[in-house]
Chain A
Amino acid sequence: MELLISVIKIVVVMGVMLGIVAYVVLLERRLSAAIQNRIGPNRVGWQGLLQPIADVVKLVFKEDIVPLKSNRFIHDLAPIISLAVALTTFAVVPFGDKINLFGYDIKLQIADVNIGILFILALTSLGVYGLTLSGWSSNSKYALLGGVRSSAQMISYELSMGLAVLGVVMIAGSLQLDTIVEAQAGWKWNIILQPIGFITFVTAAFAETNRLPFDLPEAEPELVAGYHTEYSGMKFAAYYLSEYANMFVSSAIITTLYLGGWQVPFVHSFGFSDFWIGIIQVFGFLTKVILFVSFFIIIRWTIPRFRYDQLMNLGWKFMLPVSILNLLITGLVILLLS
């Protein structure tokens, strides 16, 4: 029965997540259109709501082109790594409290591991391979430069990301994401307790997901399309999907670590039954995540791209010292309060 519940959870979460990610693409196109005073895709279905399905159908039927003298196996493997890493990270993110369904207590989290944060950091560090290998296997200078840039960028920003998370870990006293969410009950959200850590983590998350203003691995004016220049059809779609999946999962992690996770303030004061409180909390989590995804999108369409040396200077000379300072201050305050 335990196994069956887990399988059902995995299937439902994956299905819902892929659906949301497909619609995040539409959200980005509509939002960017609004920012640039255009209309955006609104022809397929009501307000363009069937656009993602039309896009996927188009991409499935496209020809898969593999460049000459490229390494076929690695060329096929790279997008799979990217997408798998992006989707697996969500496994440890709790999206709701325990909920009682058909007499079973179901925990709304796929895997409640006690090293949740380390799991997330390990997987994000593996995401580099998808980009680096695609760059190398394509046998193209633009792709190779994109791959090299992505690995340098991700290694640089992983450090400040890990150090920023440590502040949250020190406050909650645990690496388990569930405990971290519970420690933020009420209004004790970590964005209030850890403002510097929050800003560093969000900046690092932008760099790790290769989104503007840090999208140097795929900078269009310099590198055509960067690491996925030589990809077409479904393999290109896998990269496209993994970019948005990464964005969604990063927002989910930021929500969990800094915005109280599935906690909805004052939900208990309205006298709902436990079941409905559980449902409200899940929707509260999703609302926070979607709002943060919109923040990602708005940043992309309003801030220009950094230059490469600016990116490295920001990462090593500013964010790293700031996050170490944040760690020291957090430790000192915890010591004084205890």
Chain B
Amino acid sequence: MSIEVIIFFLVAISAIVSAVLMVIQRNPVKSVLFMIVNFFCLAIIYLLLHAQFIAIIQILVYAGAIMVLFLFVIMLLNLGDESLLKEKANFRKMIAYLLSGVILLELIIGIILPPNTFLQTQSPEAVKIGSVEAIGASLFNNYLLPFEAVSILLLAAIVGVVVLAKKKFK
């Protein structure tokens, strides 16, 4: 086994373990911490696929910014008795179990059945796709219109936040 395969399995297992721990944790702050660990594992998997830009953005945006806000809100809410949040088993929950079971089954089938694309080496062209230059070039050539549309959407969201925040002081 090459060192990349060993790293992949180590990271993949810790990603799954941290994801499971995140869901079953009683304490919301600990859930946030396990989610951050999970994001880190994903970032390392992106790095193994030579997608450095997505890997670093994963850490910068998700682990560095969004999860800080999560932690911030949880800390300020100060959820004392977490057991009160426990939901009873109901119809909605059953459907959720069913759906996730089906997705798990599909993933297993996809990995086991031929053509077996599991753990293949990457072609040199695929390696280049993940670089910052390649992503920038495709964003500003092939996908310029969607890119601008997304930026307008984000601008609208920012303006909306400012309007909502200002209302209070009138």
Chain A complexes with chain B: yes
Which residues of A line the B interface, CB within 8 A?
71, 74, 113-115, 118-119, 121-122, 125-126, 128-129, 132-133, 135-136, 144, 147-148, 151-152, 154-155, 158, 175
| Complex contacts, A129 vs chain B, CB 8 Å | 36, 68, 71
B72–A122 CB distance below 8 A: no
| Complex contacts, A122 vs chain B, CB 8 Å | 56, 59-60, 63-64
B75–A155 CB distance below 8 A: no
* A147-B59 contact in complex given A126-B64, A132-B68, C-beta closer than 8 Å: no
> Given the complex of chains A and B, what is the CA–CA distance between A126 and B67 in angstroms?
10
| Complex contacts, B132 vs chain A, CB 8 Å | 114-115, 118, 175
A155–B68 CB distance below 8 A: yes
B: contact size bracket: 20 to 34
> Given the complex of chains A and B, what is the CA–CA distance between A71 and B25 in angstroms?
14
Residue in contact with A144 in the complex, picked from B30, B36, B53, B75, CB distance below 8 Å? B75
* A128-B59 contact in complex given A74-B29, A115-B53, A136-B75, C-beta closer than 8 Å: no
Q: Taking A122-B63, A136-B29 as given, write out 16 further A-B residue pairs in contact, using a Cβ cutoff of 8 Å, ordered by the A residue number.
A: A114-B131, A115-B52, A118-B53, A118-B56, A125-B65, A126-B59, A128-B68, A129-B71, A132-B71, A132-B75, A133-B33, A144-B75, A148-B75, A155-B65, A155-B69, A158-B65
Q: Does B153 contact A (CB under 8 A)?
A: no
Ordered by A's residue number, 9 sampled pairs between the chains whose C-beta atoms are within 8 Å are A74-B33, A115-B56, A118-B60, A125-B59, A126-B64, A128-B68, A132-B75, A136-B75, A144-B75
Q: Does B76 contact A (CB under 8 A)?
A: yes
| Complex contacts, B69 vs chain A, CB 8 Å | 155
| Complex contacts, A132 vs chain B, CB 8 Å | 68, 71-72, 75
Name the residue of chain B whose CB is nearest to the CB of A159. B65
B60–A114 CB distance below 8 A: no
> Given the complex of chains A and B, what is the CA–CA distance between A119 and B55 in angstroms?
10
> Given the complex of chains A and B, what is the CA–CA distance between A120 and B136 in angstroms?
20
B71–A114 CB distance below 8 A: no
Name the residue of chain A whose CB is nearest to the CB of B75. A136
Name the residue of chain A whose CB is nearest to the CB of B27. A71
Name the residue of chain B whose CB is nearest to the CB of A154. B68
What per-residue 1/0 map shows which CB atoms of B61-90 lie under 8 Å from chain A?
A: 001110011011001100000000000000
Min CB distance A149 to B, Å, is: 11
Min CB distance B52 to A, Å, is: 5
| Complex contacts, A135 vs chain B, CB 8 Å | 75
Ranked nearest first, the 3 interchain pairs of A and B with the lowest CB-CB distance are A125-B64, A122-B60, A122-B59
Name the residue of chain B whose CB is nearest to the CB of A162. B60
> Given the complex of chains A and B, what is the CA–CA distance between A147 and B69 in angstroms?
13
Name the residue of chain A whose CB is nearest to the CB of B65. A125
| Complex contacts, A148 vs chain B, CB 8 Å | 72, 75-76
> Given the complex of chains A and B, what is the CA–CA distance between A326 and B17 in angstroms?
45
Min CB distance B95 to A, Å, is: 35
Min CB distance A220 to B, Å, is: 22
A151–B72 CB distance below 8 A: yes
* A151-B60 contact in complex given A129-B36, A136-B29, C-beta closer than 8 Å: no
B65–A147 CB distance below 8 A: no
> Given the complex of chains A and B, what is the CA–CA distance between A258 and B5 in angstroms?
40
> Given the complex of chains A and B, what is the CA–CA distance between A122 and B53 in angstroms?
11
